[in-house]
Structure 1
Amino acid sequence: MLKRTPKLKVSGKDAQSFLQGQLSNDIDKIANGEWQLNAYCQHQGRIIALMWVQKQGDDFYLDFAPDLQTVVHNRLKMFALNAEVIFSEVNHQENPAEGAQVTLATSEKFIPQDLNLDIDEVGVSFTKGCYPGQEVVARVHYLGKPKKRLYQFECDFEVLPLDKITLEDDTKTVGTVLNQVKYCFFAVLKIAERGQTLFINNKPIKLLELTDFSH
């Protein structure tokens, strides 16, 4: 488990039920002290923030990309309505990402299946009930088949979020960079193209493995 740095504390009598209706995973199943992966989606099922949630007593701590602090805080407050919840910012330290992460640049670009959150329901529950975007996410799960997945790649040069992965002729985009961590990066790639020779800006990249959030 990577070290988590909470950005927002959610407390109050309705904290658990409020988050249960906002996030993609089953908040009611979090054990005290445990971190659970979630997607915070908009109504079209696109991920605003990739979010790790920890329960401590009756309070919940949320960890997500630092540059999404204002976006997440304001949106949660907007949907709180009459719920008895209190939001407190708890950490402004911008630690570099240690794994796959949705940032401001990639917010609302991908659905949970693109980021493998449906695999073994590691970040999405298909039995918990409603949350923003739930109908779209469920439709893909039950009626479709994911055409893209999140993979880890190796490269010896800098890549940027939303950089395009192409085939050798550089005319067909087959993937999109999520974020870079040191000498590797994470990108959403069309499953059908994973056996091809892949490039970013005409430079070859090496596919390492499917990204696994379960450990």
Structure 2
Amino acid sequence: MYCLLENRALLKISGTDSEAFLQAQLSNDISKLDDTSVQLNAYCQHQGKILALFWVIKCEDDFFLSFPLDLLEAIRSRLQMFVIMSDVDITDITKKYIQVGCINETHQKALVINDKLSLIITDKKNINQFNMEPTVHWDMACVDSSLPEIFSITSEKLVPQMLNLDIDEFGVNFSKGCYPGQEVVARLHYLGSAKRRLFAFDLDSEVNIGDSLYCASSKSAKARGARYKSSGIVIFRIKYNSHFYCLATLEVELKDAKITLNNEQGPTLTRINK
């Protein structure tokens, strides 16, 4: 199945210093990226909070960064700030190419994301080569794969561990060099103190990115009289076959507790076991 991913920006990073530049900015080891796969990377600020999640693609001597369109201007400007005297060019090529999500497809141009999902980046003139299905199928596959995303509403709110990026070093490499926020991310890793993780949920009611998860039995919710303190946050949501699904962070100790949306009277979320 092929789906046109129209809501994603695409930046090209080129120049003789492009690999070194990205290595110094992103959470994963860029030197390990080949031209057959997509590498997930967190772009963090100095406190370790994620500004954006990039799908990084190597294209000969250049690199492509794919991420949600609503972050394009903020991220392009921030990356440009750190170019300084390096031989690095950052070009917005969003309108030049199309991005096609592949679900359980084998294609010679497909770049592997995981065992189910892959990505094709191709010229717009090739769009008719694909029998596109509605994007909701891609979104559902992302929920099934627990593939996280960061949008403007959740930018600078989460550290990589909350999105499970540290597990099997899927999105964070702990032996590479420094990058913004690296000390905070590494300290959480080596102390084993990730109290919140990413989980998939379903529910019968409308849910939106940025909504809070609430647990009446949470110690943090009761602390200092904070009756409605959040125990997590929704980072991705879809409506699929008249039902709602989402990916959300949640305190690990509450994963089997009753979780409601936004407050104690909100709709109940059912965790999807994987």
Report the TM-score when normalising by structure 1: 0.90
Provide runs of 4+ in structure 1 moved above 3 Å.
2-6, 92-97, 168-172
Query: Which letter maps to 1:9?
Result: K
Q: Indicate the SS of the match to 2:231.
A: strand
Does structure 1 residue 106 correspond to structure 2 residue 106? no
Q: Which residue of 2 aligns with 1:204?
A: 268
Cα deviation, residue 75, structure 1: 0.6
Q: Indicate the SS of the match to 2:197.
A: strand
Q: Which of 197, 200, 205 does residue 149 from structure 1 map onto? A: 197
State percent identity of aligned pairs. 43
Q: Which residue of 2 aligns with 1:86?
A: 89
What is the number of residues matched between the two proteins? Answer: 209
Q: Distance in 1 between matches of 2:92 and 2:19?
A: 17
Does structure 1 residue 134 correspond to structure 2 residue 137? no
Does structure 1 residue 192 correspond to structure 2 residue 253? yes
Query: Which letter maps to 1:51?
Result: F
Q: Distance in 1 between matches of 2:205 and 2:267?
A: 9
Cα deviation, residue 157, structure 1: 2.3
8 Å contact from structure 1 (residues 39, 112) kept in 2? yes
| Structure number with larger C-alpha Rg | 2
Q: Indicate the SS of the match to 1:152.
A: strand
Structure 1 residues not aligned, in runs of 5+: 211-215
Does structure 1 residue 175 correspond to structure 2 residue 232? yes
Q: Indicate the SS of the match to 1:80.
A: coil
Q: Distance in 2 between matches of 1:172 and 1:128?
A: 36
Structure 2 residues not aligned, in runs of 5+: 100-134, 143-147, 218-226
Query: Which letter maps to 1:186?
Result: L
- CA deviation digits over 1:91-127, x for unaligned, max 9? 1589777233100000000000010000000000000
Q: Distance in 2 between matches of 1:158 and 1:83?
A: 47
Q: Distance in 2 between matches of 1:85 and 1:53?
A: 16
Cα distance 1:42–1:172, how it changes in 2: closer, same or farther (>3 A)?
closer
Q: Indicate the SS of the match to 2:272.
A: strand
Superposition RMSD on alpha carbons, in Å?
Answer: 2.2
